[in-house]
Amino acid sequence: MIKREFFKAGHAPTLFAAFFYFDMSFMVWVILGPLGVQIAQSLGLDAAQKGLMVALPILAGALLRVVMGVLVDRLKPKKAGLIGQAIVIAGVLAAWFFGIRSFAAVLALGVVLGLAGASFAVALPLASRWYPPHYQGIALGVAGAGNSGTVLAALFAPSLAAAYGWQNVIGLTAIPLGVALLVYVLLARDSPTTPPPKTLAEYAAVLKMPDAWWFMFFYAVTFGGFSGLASSLTIYFNTDYGLSAVTAGYFTAAAVFAGSMVRPVGGALADRIGGVRTLTVMYSVAAAMLTLVSFHLPQAGMALAAFIVGMLSLGMGNGAVFQLVPQRFRAEMGVMTGLVGMTGGVGGFFLASSLGVSKQNTGSYQLGLLIFAGLALIALVGLTAVKRRWRTTWGARDVAGARI
């Protein structure tokens, strides 16, 4: 599905550097989720506290994406990424050195980890600005596939914590972050077509455009669903099906792997048939799967299968949304990446925290899952409402064969 010409159209070393930087950052961003079972046992956390613990880094990352989006426009993507990565490395090393002995300390670490999640606002503009409109879906899908770092966290963090202690795992994350920083320094380059910085008035002007709010909502559902589940499934499988922390981590890794690996596929499919058609299918499937798992399927394997299908649809939806955004907001890509990424994080925070609250107050995760399934259906209705206008206004522009 990815044509040979794509590799000649932009700057492959920068695309790889953006992917790897994003990958390692995402691994650290969600690390509290895979470690959640061991942390909760160590600190004596209840269901609501566990939900907040895994949700806070997502919310912090959401808010900090706006900050990083502004820095990207002011300092260019490469320098903004260097600053963010250095702060995260310093934060995890400080947490490991001084220790984490309370729920408040875990939440403070979660805020620092949020900056790793803000790497989204750096990696995507860094890659996007090197590629023409008709390759935006693939380029942003490849860079955005760095969310596969969540797989590494789910796969290795619980077993490493069982062997060496969860606090030491926090310190160990500085090693892959340092490698990613080195690769980023050596390979990443800012595009020569980088637009000039915008004034505050220009940032505010974007929020006056209805399409900006639609994209923010659409991504709140696709990425919010992906990140919220990636952070919560280890605790979910441990609590609802009695799986050990390590086995629950393996189950989570399988679901997250499915969702992260298909992001480039979703972008490439959107390049071929249009982002609107792709999202229409993805929202329908995601809503169906979230509704299905809300009824507590009798076996963990059945629940995993449903979550995998749901994560596949959400992951492809992530790629499809960012096939559309550069077509509509190419000149504002930095700030739009920050805003859209922010609402994606807000969606993830909402899902992860609502699952914890639902379990704490009703004894079941069903209500939290059904609410998010409802949001997917609302997104489907909204997409149906705007698609005709999109195709007859900005979608009708000459953008070198790009499709909506």
Which pLDDT value is given to residue 233? Answer: 96
Q: Work out the average pLDDT over 26-42.
A: 95
Q: Work out the average pLDDT over 159-165.
A: 96
Q: Provide the percentage of residues in the chain whose pLDDT is more than 90.
A: 63
Residue keyed to tokens 């920083």: 181
User: Tell me: the pLDDT tens digits for 102-142?
Assistant: 999 999 999 999 999 898 788 888 887 888 777 776 777 77
Which pLDDT value is given to residue 334? Answer: 65
Q: Establish if 322 belongs to a structural domain.
A: yes
Q: Which of 91, 124, 264 is nearest to 191 (CA)?
A: 124
Query: The dihedral of CA 208, 210, 214, 217: what is its sign?
Result: positive
Which pLDDT value is given to residue 191? Answer: 84
- Does 1 score more than 80 pLDDT? no
Please state the length of the chain: 404
CB 6 within 8 Å of CB 127: no
User: Tell me: the pLDDT tens digits for 299-321?
Assistant: 999 999 999 999 999 999 998 99
Which pLDDT value is given to residue 73? Answer: 80
Alpha helices in 263-365 (DSSP H): 263-273, 275-293, 300-328, 333-362
- Does 2 score more than 60 pLDDT? no
Which pLDDT value is given to residue 397? Answer: 52
Q: Work out the average pLDDT over 61-73.
A: 85
Which pLDDT value is given to residue 252? Answer: 96
Which pLDDT value is given to residue 391? Answer: 80
Which pLDDT value is given to residue 196? Answer: 74
End-to-end Cα distance, the chain: 17
Which pLDDT value is given to residue 138? Answer: 74
Q: Establish if 195 belongs to a structural domain.
A: no
User: Tell me: the pLDDT tens digits for 204-229?
Assistant: 888 888 999 999 999 999 999 999 99
- Does 394 score more than 80 pLDDT? no
Q: Establish if 4 belongs to a structural domain.
A: no
Q: Is 61 exposed, middle or buried (0-12, 13-18, 19+ CB in 10 A)?
A: buried
Element housing 398 (H / E): none
Q: Provide the percentage of residues in the chain whose pLDDT is more than 70.
A: 94
Q: Work out the average pLDDT over 230-258.
A: 95
Task: Give the mean pLDDT of the chain.
Answer: 89
- The domain that holds 326 is classified in CATH as 1.20.1250.20
Alpha-carbon dihedral 217, 297, 306, 346, rounded to 10 degrees: 20
Q: Establish if 402 belongs to a structural domain.
A: no
- Does 145 score more than 90 pLDDT? no
Coil, helix or strand for 199?
coil
Whole-angstrom distance, CA of residue 12 vs CA of residue 27: 22
Q: Establish if 388 belongs to a structural domain.
A: yes
CB 292 within 8 Å of CB 240: no
User: Tell me: the pLDDT tens digits for 248-270?
Assistant: 999 999 999 998 888 888 888 88
User: Tell me: the pLDDT tens digits for 351-382?
Assistant: 999 999 999 999 999 999 999 999 999 999 99
Q: Which of 315, 317, 319, 321 is nearest to 256 (CA)?
A: 315
Q: How many domains does the chain have?
A: 1
Where in the sequence is the domain holding 109, given as residue range(s)?
12-188+202-396
Q: Work out the average pLDDT over 287-295.
A: 97
Q: Establish if 266 belongs to a structural domain.
A: yes
Q: Establish if 404 belongs to a structural domain.
A: no
Which pLDDT value is given to residue 340? Answer: 87
How does residue 3 score in pLDDT terms, banded at 50, 70 and 90? low
Whole-angstrom distance, CA of residue 13 vs CA of residue 184: 9
Q: Establish if 5 belongs to a structural domain.
A: no
- Give the angle 53-41-306 at the CA atoms, nearest 5°: 65
Least confident piece of the model among 136-140, 188-192, 295-299, 327-331: 136-140
How does residue 398 score in pLDDT terms, banded at 50, 70 and 90? very low
| Whole-structure pTM value | 0.85
Whole-angstrom distance, CA of residue 67 vs CA of residue 335: 9
